[in-house]
Every structure is written in C-alpha cells, then in structure tokens.
C-alpha cells in the first residue's frame, strides 16, 4: 500500500469516526495535495481536477475549506497555497494543537510538526480553534549544498 493510499484511507476513517463527509471531490483534492508532496495553489488544483478543463473555483475552495477546517490539510498563508496534513490521523484534530510548518525557501519542501500548546496570552474568553505557525529558512539538504 502506497503512502498516498494509506493517508487517504486514514482520512476516510477519521472522517467516518467523526461524522464528516469526505465526498469524492474532497477526497480527490486531498489526493492531489498528498501526491504533490508540497504546497499547491488552488488554481493548480482546479486545473488538475478535470481533464481538458478546470473545476469551478467555488467547488475547489469549498473542498479546501473542509479539508483545512477538519485538519486534513493546511493553508500555507505566506505562499497562498495548500498542503496535505501528513501526520497520524489517530490524534484529535479538533484544533486543540498547533501546527508548525517549516518551509524551505530553496526547494519549497514543508516539514510539519504538531505541538499541543495553547497560547497563554490570548484575550480573555478567546477560544482558539486552530493555529498554524510558519517558519521559513533552509532545510538540511539545501544547507548542505
């Protein structure tokens, strides 16, 4: 079983356990993100969704919104792109952890880490639902070159 198949099967189990619907379009968008292995822009996903044409923007953006809100994908804000969450789906993805994305400025690889830490300086009564921190630099492979 390939890593992509394993990730997609785990995502389906995760959604089923939580009563979420991983529709064929959502699954295909997630599959494209997993296969890409790095950040992908929404319009590139649109072009890849339909051979000979592109999917409608609302369709892709709704799928991306579902995937990011459910923790199956992350938006890389500074790049205005998306990447699949490749962590173990057995942990709680309800937004109670912080995702750290380490983005190589040379080769665009993304290394993902999850930490279970909430901000201690949030405004009184503010409840964090999810958090993504982006770090930019050079990966070990690019530093060695």
Determine the pLDDT at residue 95: 47
- How many angstroms separate the CA atoms of 85 and 88, rounded? 9
Structural contact between residues 16 and 23, judged by C-beta atoms closer than 8 angstroms:
no
Structural domains of the chain, with CATH = 3-84 (1.10.10.10), 98-144 (3.30.1490)
Compute the distance between CA of residue 95 and CA of residue 86 in angstroms, rounded to an integer: 16
More confident residue, 3 or 59: 59
Average pLDDT over residues 100-116: 88
pTM listed for this prediction: 0.83
Q: How does DSSP classify residue 19?
A: T
Q: Which two tokens stand for residue 54?
A: 């592109």
Strand 98-104 relative to strand 131-137: parallel, antiparallel, unpaired? parallel
CA atoms of 120 and 124, how far apart (whole Å): 10
Q: Where would I find the beta strands (DSSP E) of the chain?
A: 73-76, 81-84, 98-104, 110-115, 131-137
Please tell me the predicted confidence (pLDDT) of residue 22.
94
pLDDT tens per residue, range 64-107: 999 999 989 999 998 899 999 877 665 554 545 788 899 999 98
């Amino acid at each position: 079983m390939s890593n992509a198949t394993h990730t997609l099967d785990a995502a389906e189990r995760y959604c089923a356990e939580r009563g979420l619907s991983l529709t064929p379009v959502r699954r295909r968008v997630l599959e494209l993100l997993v296969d890409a292995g790095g950040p992908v822009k929404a319009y590139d996903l649109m072009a890849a969704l339909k051979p000979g044409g592109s999917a409608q923007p609302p369709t892709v953006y709704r799928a991306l919104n579902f995937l990011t809100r459910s923790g199956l994908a992350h938006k890389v804000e500074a790049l205005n792109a998306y990447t699949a969450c490749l962590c173990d789906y057995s942990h709680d993805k309800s937004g109670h952890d912080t995702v750290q994305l380490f983005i190589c400025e040379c080769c665009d690889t993304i290394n993902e880490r999850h930490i279970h830490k909430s901000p201690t300086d949030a405004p009184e009564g503010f409840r964090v639902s999810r958090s993504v921190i982006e770090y930019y630099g050079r990966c070990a492979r690019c530093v060695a070159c």
